[in-house]
């Protein structure tokens, strides 16, 4: 009887080994989810490794055991983090590819337990995004490792992906939405002439009248000097004092750097650099709402204003009577 049992066990072991050899040599898990948010909102969470703790299954599972260390770079290509813990083991991850709002690739190193690769792709359509997460790891020729991959690693990765996708969806959909198009852009310095005025915030009719007067004067100066504008009119707002209900504004026209103009109208130059830019469509009287949206965006992105904001009046009201077609670009310089 003992002999038969031993023979049976040997046969079972041989069978398991044979099955192990035909099990996949590579474990791959791919899952997707639809998220009602822009791709940018999802990308920002994945591209910054320090944000992993907010949505990662593993960070949550081992939150009392895992010690995480970050490299000098924590987001984008080259971002690196490592972890260690009695239960979590040791490992590291490195972002090897980062295409803004499109895809991210990460190399995983589990030290003596092997390596793996993970990837994230984002497909934005309309107001939503499809997020796909992938994971791939080689199990080699060892049939035991192939059994481990099939029975332990793959089911655990399935569970982790369900958790990660659900948390990323929750985080992205909770972020604020904006009613105007807003982006961070690089701006170039501009040469300009301008007229400065201090205006009451409680008398917008006077503000409009002063702008009309200032631009009329500036256009007259350029016409008399036979100087062409190098861009659309714009207005700088160096000071906005809500407590005293007043503001300073500089109505300006872009001119060539070497333009010959009366000494009363010195050529100045604006600062270039990074700025938050919003596109306002419609009547100028509704511009306050766009400024409010930018303020909300600055707070959301934790950006600090670095200078005077300005408005660029792309559409000439004199040639386009339909106010719904007026385009105004609003800029806030940021650090």
The arithmetic mean of pLDDT across residues 259-268, rounded, is 96
The pLDDT-based confidence of 30 (bands split at 50, 70, 90) is very high
Q: Give the domains, in start order, of the chain with CATH numbers.
A: 24-173 (3.30.530.20), 181-333 (3.20.80.10)
User: What tens digit of pLDDT does each residue of 216-231 get?
Assistant: 999 999 999 999 999 9
pLDDT of res. 28:
82
How do residues 274-299 score in pLDDT, each as one tens digit? 999 999 999 998 999 999 999 999 99
pTM (predicted TM-score): 0.70
In this predicted model, which residue has the larger pLDDT, 9 or 297? 297
Secondary structure in 3-state letters for the chain: CHHHHHHHHHHHHHHHHHHHHHCCCEEEEEEEEEECCCHHHHHHHHHEHHHHHHHCHHHHHCCCCCEEEECCCCECCCCEEEEEECCCEEEEEEEEEEECCCEEEEEEECHHHCEEEEEEEEEEECCEEEEEEEEEEECCCCHHHHHHHHHHHHHHHHHHHHHHHHHHHHHHHCCCCCCCEEEEEEECCCEEEEEEEEEECCCHHHHHHHHHHHHHHHHHHHHHHCCCCCCCCEEEEEEEECCCCEEEEEEEEECCCCCCCCCCCCCEECCCEEEEEEEEECCHHHHHHHHHHHHHHHHHHCCCECCCCEEEECCCCCCCCCHHHCEEEEEEEEC
Q: What is the pLDDT of residues 234-256, one digit of tens each?
A: 999 999 998 999 999 999 999 99
> Which pLDDT score, from 0 to 100, does residue 78 have?
96
The whole-number pLDDT of residue 138 equals 58
220, with CB counted inside 10 A (0-12, 13-18, 19+), is exposed
Higher pLDDT, 145 or 69: 69
Q: Please tell me the distance from the alpha carbon of residue 98 to that of residue 228, in angstroms, as a whole number.
A: 43
The proportion of the chain whose per-residue pLDDT surpasses 70, expressed as a percent, equals 87
Rounded distance, CA 109 to CA 118, Å?
A: 11
pLDDT at 215 over 60: yes
What is residue 133's predicted lDDT score, i.e. its pLDDT?
95
pLDDT band of 115, cuts 50, 70, 90: confident
| pLDDT for res 6 | 40
* pLDDT, average across residues 106-133: 90
What pLDDT does 3 receive?
A: 44
Which has more pLDDT, 122 or 53?
122
Q: Calculate what percentage of the chain has a pLDDT beyond 90.
A: 73
Higher pLDDT: 188 or 116? It is 188
């Amino acid at each position: 009887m003992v002999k038969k049992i031993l023979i049976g066990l040997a046969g079972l072991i041989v069978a398991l080994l044979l099955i192990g050899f035909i099990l996949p040599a590579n474990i791959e898990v791919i899952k997707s989810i639809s998220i009602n948010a822009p791709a940018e909102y999802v990308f920002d969470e994945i591209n910054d490794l320090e944000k992993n703790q907010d949505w990662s299954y593993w960070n949550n599972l081992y939150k009392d055991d895992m010690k995480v260390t970050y490299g000098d770079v924590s987001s984008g290509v080259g971002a690196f983090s490592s972890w260690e813990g009695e239960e979590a083991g040791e490992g590291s991850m490195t972002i090897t590819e980062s295409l803004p709002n499109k895809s991210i690739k990460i190399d995983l190193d589990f030290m003596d337990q092997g390596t793996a690769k993970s990837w994230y792709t984002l497909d934005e359509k309309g107001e939503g995004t499809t997020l796909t997460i992938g994971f791939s790891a080689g199990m080699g020729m060892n049939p035991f490792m192939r059994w481990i991959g099939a029975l332990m690693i793959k089911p655990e990765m399935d569970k982790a992906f369900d958790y990660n996708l659900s948390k990323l969806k929750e985080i992205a959909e909770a972020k604020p939405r904006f009613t105007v198009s807003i982006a961070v852009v690089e701006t170039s310095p501009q040469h300009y002439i301008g007229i400065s005025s201090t205006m009451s915030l409680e008398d917008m009719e006077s503000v409009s009248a002063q702008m009309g007067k200032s631009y009329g004067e500036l256009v007259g100066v350029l016409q008399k000097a036979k100087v062409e504008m190098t861009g659309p009119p714009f207005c700088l707002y160096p000071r906005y004092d809500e407590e005293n209900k007043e503001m300073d504004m500089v109505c300006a026209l872009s001119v060539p750097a070497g333009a010959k103009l009366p000494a009363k109208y010195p050529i100045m130059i604006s600062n270039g650099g990074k700025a938050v830019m919003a596109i306002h469509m419609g009547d100028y009287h509704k511009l306050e709402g766009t400024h409010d949206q930018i303020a909300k965006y600055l707070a959301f992105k934790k950006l600090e204003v670095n200078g005077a904001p300005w408005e660029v009046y792309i559409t000439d009201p004199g040639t386009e009577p339909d106010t719904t077609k007026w385009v105004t670009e609003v800029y806030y310089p940021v650090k």
